[in-house]
Structure 1
Amino acid sequence: MMKSTSQVAPAPNAGGLPPLPPAPVPGALANAPSLTNLPILPPSSPGDDWVIDFEEVQAYKKAKAAGVDRGIQQKNWLASEVNWKYRVGKGWRGKRVLGVGGQGIVGHWTNEGSDRDQKSVKDLAVKQVLRFGPGYKWGDGLETEARWLSMLARAKTPHIIRMYKHMFEEEGQKTFDQDWGLVQRIYLEFCAGGDLVSWMSKYINNPRNVSEDDLWFIFQCLARGLFVIHHGSEDRSTEKYMPGAELVHFDLKPENILIGDQTLDNEHRNQPPYKISDFGLASKVPIDGQDAAFLRQSEYRGTPPWFAPEQITRLGHPFASQRPWGGLFNTFINPAIRDPKYGSATNVWQIGVIMQGMMRRRRIPDWKTFTMYQSTATERLATGGKTVGMDIDIDQDLNNRSMYSRSLRNLIAECLLLTPANRPSPGELMRRTADGASRVQMSMGQILGPPLPQWQEPVVSAEWLQPNAGDPLAAAFGALEVKRRPPVKTQPVPNAPPAPTAQATTTQAGQAAQVGAAQPTATQASPARPLPANANTIRTLRVIVQTKPKYGGIVAGGHKTFALRVTPATTVVQVKDMLERQRCGIKATSMNLMAGRTLMKNFQALGEFAGVDNVRAMEY
C-alpha cells in the first residue's frame, strides 16, 4: 500500500537493522543546536511524500494481468465514489464515463436527490488523474489546470469551463490501471452538448457545410474565451490580471471545446455557449525576453497538428518538413516567421486552425494540403506577411466566390498569419466576431422582439466554491498573481573561481566531472516563485545520469555522476544542455530531471528547489 515518507527512518547498518539510538549523555541537551539554525525544508508538491512498496507493485501487476473488461472497470470506478475521502456529495450518482486517457478518466455525475429541482447545478463532471503510482508516466496531475481554472473563475464567464470544489488528492480505489496510487480530482461543470468533435461529425459524415451564422456564433464564443485568458475578464474596463505576462493554452483543439446547455439570454439567444477547457498544458510566458532557448522549452507542448508556427522555427524540428513554412529557404534565407514568440497570439492561431477546419469540414488539419500565400484582401493581410490555407482558400481569396462572406474568411486568414505580432489581438477578435454575429442575426431577423435577460452565473452553495483543508493547493490559490522577476545581471561573482575549461571528464558513479558554470540571462523564463537574493552564488549540483541499454543490449546502460557549477538562477533546460554538451549519453530533448519525486520543468530555476543538491537525469 502507499506509505507516507514524511518521517525518515535512520539508515540501516551492515546487518540490515536500523542502529540503536545512543545513550543520553548528561548535559548534552544543553548544547543542542538551535532550531532556528536547522536547514529549511524545500517546498513540496502533492505526491512528493509518497512511495509505493514492492507488494503494491506486485498487486498492481497481478490485477493488470487479470484482464478485467474495460467497461466493468469503468462501472467499478463510478461506484467507488462512496469510498472517496472527498465525495461528490449525498444524492449524487455516477452516471457514465465520458472519456478515458493515458493518465486519467472523466465521469458524469447527476444529482438524484429529492431536492434536485431546487439545485442550480444538477450535473457535473469529475476529472481524475494519476499523480503518482505504479502506472504513472508523466505530468503534474491536475495541479496546473486547477490553478488556472481557479484564477479564471473570477471572470464569471460562460466561455471558460467552470471548476467547483477546487482540487482534491487521495489514494485511488484500484478499480483500473490509473486508479492505483495517489490520484487528484477536480469537479467541473457538465457540458451536455459534448465537445466540438462530436458537433462537427454530423457535417463531416453527411456531408454538408456548416452555416455561416453557426460559424460566427462559435467564433464569437471562442474569441470571448480568449479575451478572458488574455485579460482576466470579458470587461475591457478592468485591469489586466497579469501585467507583463500572458497565458498560453497550448492545446486548443476541437476536443477541448465543450458545448454547454442552451441558454435564453441576449448573448446566446437559445444557442449553447461554447467553452474552452483543459488547461493542463497552459503556461504563463513573459511578454519580453523570449530567445531561441525559451522557445525551445515549449516547442513540443500541445498536440502536433495544432502546433503554432512559433513552435516550429528550428530547421531540425521533426515537424518542420511537414509545414509550409519549414525548410532552409523559409527558415534562414527569407524567414516566413518574423520575431517568433509565445503569447496570446499563439492562442489566436489555434482558434484560427479550428475555425478553418469547421469551414472546410476537417476535424484535423492535413498540412500536406496547406500552402503559404500572400493575400491582399485586407490591410493586415497585405502588410502582415504570409498566411496559410488550402487551394480552395486561395481560389476564393482571388475570385471572391464562396458561400461564406469575405469578412469571415478574411478574419480566419488573419488569425493564421505566420508572424505572431501581426495576428489580431484577443480584444480585436472579440469585437470583430461580435460585429459579424450581429450582422448575420439582423439579416435573419433573429434579434427582433423584446430584449432577453443577461447571462447569469449559476448560484451554488459556499462549500462548492471555497477551498478547505482537503485541498492541497488551497494555500496556492491566493498566490497566483504574477510577480515579475527583475532581469538577473550577468556580472562576475566576487571571489568566484574561474570557469573550468571544456575539457571535463566524466567517471562512473561516485566520481564527478567539472563543467562550465551556466550564467543566467535576462531572457530566461520567470519562475513561479521569486529567486533568492543570492541568485548569482555559484554552487555545485550533483547529477546522477541514468542511461538505458541500446541496440538490443550491445550498448549497455548504466549510471554516471556529474558535478555541475550552477547558480540558483540557472534554469533546468540549461542544466540539460550542459549535460548534453558533456556527452552524458542522453539528448537534452529526451531528458527528465527529478528532484526527489518532483519532475523539474524546463522553465524552472534551480533556486525554486531550495536545499536540493542532488538530482537524477533519466531518459524518457
Structure 2
Amino acid sequence: MVLFPVVQAGGRAYEPAPWTRDRSKVQRRINRWRLKRWFDRQAEAFALSKARVKEDDDADWECTDMLGRGAFGMVGQWSKYDSRGNVVDTIAIKQADIDTYREVAADGSPTLPWEALIMRGLAQNGCNNSTELRGLKFYTAESPMKWRYYLEYYKYGSLHNLVESYKDWNRRHPGRPERIPEAFIWQALHGLALAAYHMWTVRFDDIVIPGRDPYVLHLDLKHENVLLGDPRPDRTKMQYPTLKVGDWGMAEYTSRDDPNNSRKYRNYGTIIWMPPVWLELAAQSPGNVRISLQHRACDLASGRQYLRPDDHGFVQRAAR
C-alpha cells in the first residue's frame, strides 16, 4: 500500500510560479536567499518555480524560504495563502535528480526512489520519528529526470538550529548561561532510539537482501538531518518537540552479510559524523547507528557541536 500519491508532472520543473510576477517581492526574497553560500542560479530557478502540490492551486503557493542544499538535492519552504493573505498550509519541497543506478527500471522508466520507499516503510511500521512524505512527483521532461518530494514542514527547525540558538544566547548573555533541558535530552534520546528500533525491524517484502536480519542504515545521521516536529498529543509525554529523522537520500536496506556492505557504502555520508568502525571500512551495522545517536545526545547535553559540518579542511585531512 502506497501512503502517498505518486504523479508524473506535466511540463518542466522550473516553470515560473504566478507569484513571481510581483518583481519587488521576488527581488526581496532573492536578496535574502543570496546570503546563503550555496544559493546559485539553479537554486533560484527552483525557488521561483511552481510548487505543483496540486495542478489547480499553483496561484496559492509561494516559496517563502530556501532551507538547505546537499549532495543530492535542495529543499525549500512553500506556503499556501488564502484570499486574505493568511498562510493556511506549509510544506517542504525537496528536489533531487533521479538516481539512474537505483531508480530506473530495465525499460528506462523511473521506479520509486529508496528515500520514498524507506519513509513509507517506516510509517507503515508505526514509526513516528521519521519525516512524513505527503506526495511525490517526477519530471520526465528534465535531463536528468527529477523527483520532487512533498514533505511535512517542521517549523521548529533541526537539532543543529537548537544547539546553535543556545550557543548564540550564551555568547550574548555570558552572565546568564542556559542549558538545553535534561528532560528534553532524555525524550530526544528516546525518540532516536525508537527510530533506530524501526530501522532494525522494518521489512520490505519485495526486496531480497543476502543474509539474515536485514535493517535500514541511514548513512548520513547528523544534527541537520534530525528535525523537530510538533509535540505528541499524548499528555503523558512532556510537551517538547518530537524528533523526526529526515533526509533518507543515502539510506540503504542491507545486512551484515550483504557484499555491498561496506564496499558500496564506503563513501556515503558526512565524514566528520561517521562512527569509528566506518572510518576503518568495516561493515555497517545497527551498532553504528547507536554510536551516531549517542553523539547527537551528547552534543545536546553539552550544548556543543565539536566539529563544524562545513570544515572542509578537516574533511580532507580525515579522507587522507
Q: Which of the five TM-score ranges fits, normalised by the shorter chain?
A: 0.5 to 0.7
Q: Is the 8 A contact 1:298 1:311 kept in 2?
A: no
Partner of 1:221: 191
Partner of 2:270: 303
Please say if 1:196 is aligned against 2:151: no
Letter in 2 for 1:195: S
Q: Structure 1 runs of 4+ off > 6 angstroms?
A: 114-117, 138-142
RMSD: 3.8
Q: What are the equivalent positions in structure 2 for 1:34-433 lying under 5 Å apart?
A: 71=34, 73=41, 74=43, 76-81=45-50, 87=55, 89-90=57-58, 91-113=60-82, 122-131=89-98, 143-172=113-142, 181-205=144-168, 206=170, 208-232=178-202, 244-266=213-235, 268-287=237-256, 289=257, 294-313=261-280, 341-365=283-307
Cα distance, 1:351 vs. partner? 0.4
Letter in 1 for 2:162: W
1:388-424 per-residue CA deviation (whole Å, 9 max, x = no partner) reads xxxxxxxxxxxxxxxxxxxxxxxxxxxxxxxxxxxxx
Change (3 A) 1:77 1:356: same
Counterpart CA distance in 1 for 2:46 and 2:193 is 36
Cα distance, 1:145 vs. partner? 1.0
Q: Is the 8 A contact 2:213 2:255 kept in 1?
A: yes
Change (3 A) 1:85 1:116: closer
User: TM-score, structure 2 length as denominator?
Assistant: 0.66
Change (3 A) 1:284 1:157: closer
| SS of residue paired to 2:65 | strand
Cα distance, 1:201 vs. partner? 0.7
Cα distance, 1:310 vs. partner? 2.4
Q: What are the equivalent positions in structure 2 for 1:581-620 lying under 5 Å apart?
A: none
Percent identity reads 21
1:552-597 per-residue CA deviation (whole Å, 9 max, x = no partner) reads xxxxxxxxxxxxxxxxxxxxxxxxxxxxxxxxxxxxxxxxxxxxxx
Letter in 1 for 2:147: Q
| SS of residue paired to 1:221 | helix
Partner of 2:24: none
How many residues are matched? 251
1:230-261 per-residue CA deviation (whole Å, 9 max, x = no partner) reads 2239xxxxxxxx96211111111101000112
Change (3 A) 1:227 1:115: farther
| SS of residue paired to 2:269 | coil
Q: Is the 8 A contact 1:169 1:182 kept in 2?
A: yes
Q: Is the 8 A contact 1:247 1:343 kept in 2?
A: no
Cα distance, 1:162 vs. partner? 0.5
| SS of residue paired to 2:234 | coil
Letter in 2 for 1:95: T
| SS of residue paired to 2:123 | helix
Long gaps (5+) in structure 2: 1-29, 35-39, 105-111, 172-177, 204-208, 309-320
Cα distance, 1:165 vs. partner? 1.6
Of structures 1 and 2, the one with the larger relative CO (CA 8 A, separation 6+) is 2
Q: Is the 8 A contact 1:246 1:285 kept in 2?
A: yes
1:260-319 per-residue CA deviation (whole Å, 9 max, x = no partner) reads 1244423543221110011111112224x367x8434323321111212321226xxxxx
Partner of 1:36: none
Counterpart CA distance in 1 for 2:93 and 2:215 is 28
Cα distance, 1:76 vs. partner? 4.5
Which structure is larger by alpha-carbon Rg, 1 or 2? 1
User: TM-score, structure 1 length as denominator?
Assistant: 0.36
